[in-house]
Structure 1
Amino acid sequence: MREMNSINIDSTIKRLLSYATSELKVDEEYRKYISLPNRKLYSTEANGRIISCIGIEIYNSKNSVIKHIAVLPKERGNGIGSSMIKFVCREHNLRSISAETDKDAVLFYANFGFHITNLGEKYPGTERFLCKFDVK
């Protein structure tokens, strides 16, 4: 995995981030990864091209939140998302990691072993879930 720290956003990273946030917020979110020391964005490559990314916000020395995680659609189901979570946990020696997500991604987190809490309809018409994992 490679940390993204270039001022210029790669078009594939831009597309991946758009899967995890609104397209209108992609540039703003990317700027946060470049400018804030507690935000880290990593990418995974295969055959010389970027296929996934994970962005975290580190709250203290042992706890972090997944802000964005995305894998190109044709690469999904191959364990890439799980590998990225394991990487950031090792890289930052985390004790716990969490994420807030929607119905579409909650099964991914549950399958990894995250404890799922239904937050209800946090936004009109959108059910949200808090996913928390204690690293062993």
Structure 2
Amino acid sequence: MIKQISSRLEDLEVKELLAYSVFPDPERLDQAVEAYRKPNGLELYGYEEEGVLVGIIGVDKVEDEMTIKHIAVTPENRGKDYGRGMILELMVQQKPARVIAETDEEAVGFYRSIGFEIYSLGEIYPGVERFRCVYEVEEEEE
């Protein structure tokens, strides 16, 4: 089950997972942690299995749009659908009309496999193409 874990930002396992989702740069990790500390800022969720944190997902929700800012799964649990599960469970909980993520070429296939539409943003950083991934949530039928 996914649950809010913004209060656990000092836990080593939380910081370690968050570090996987930012370029290996201590300054960017500190900036990410601070973004989750701000009142009414980003929200950090974690997925635990048998008491062990296996994944995190950080989002910014504005009105009916949810933007994935960070997502990471422990290396030994990658490829087991935890990332997909966290996104889908959070969509059920938050009920956004649209989910957005920005990513690199390495993760595009992951978002595409869930049903996100992929748009190239070009080279935002020299030699690194970035992509905008958008998922339009279908309204539930009564």
- Summarize the alignment of residues 1-136 of structure 1 with structure 2, pairs less than 5 Å apart: 1-6=2-7, 8-22=9-23, 23-24=25-26, 25-60=28-63, 62-136=64-138
Equivalent residues of 2:22, 2:70 under 8 A apart: yes
CA distance in 2, matches of 1:47, 1:4: 16
Equivalent residues of 1:42, 1:55 under 8 A apart: yes
Output the amino acid matched with 1:5.
S
Query: Where do 5+ consecutive residues of structure 1 fail to align?
Result: none
Residues 47-99 of structure 1: CA distance to partner in whole angstroms, max 9, x if unpaired?
21111000000122x10110000111110111111111112212211111010
CA distance in 2, matches of 1:76, 1:13: 16
CA distance in 1, matches of 2:73, 2:8: 22
Output the amino acid matched with 1:17.
L
Q: How high is the TM-score relative to the length of structure 2?
A: 0.88
User: More deviation in 31-40 or 50-59?
Assistant: 31-40
CA distance in 2, matches of 1:38, 1:58: 9
CA distance in 2, matches of 1:70, 1:7: 16
Q: For the aligned residues, what is the CA RMSD?
A: 1.4
Task: Label 1:63 to 1:8 Cα distance change in 2 as closer, same or farther (>3 A).
Answer: closer
Equivalent residues of 2:102, 2:133 under 8 A apart: yes
* Runs (4+) off by over 6 Å: none
CA distance in 1, matches of 2:97, 2:113: 19
Q: How high is the TM-score relative to the length of structure 1?
A: 0.92
State the secondary structure of the residue aligned to 1:77: coil
Q: In the comparison of the two structures, how many residue pairs are matched?
A: 135
User: More deviation in 84-93 or 108-117?
Assistant: 84-93
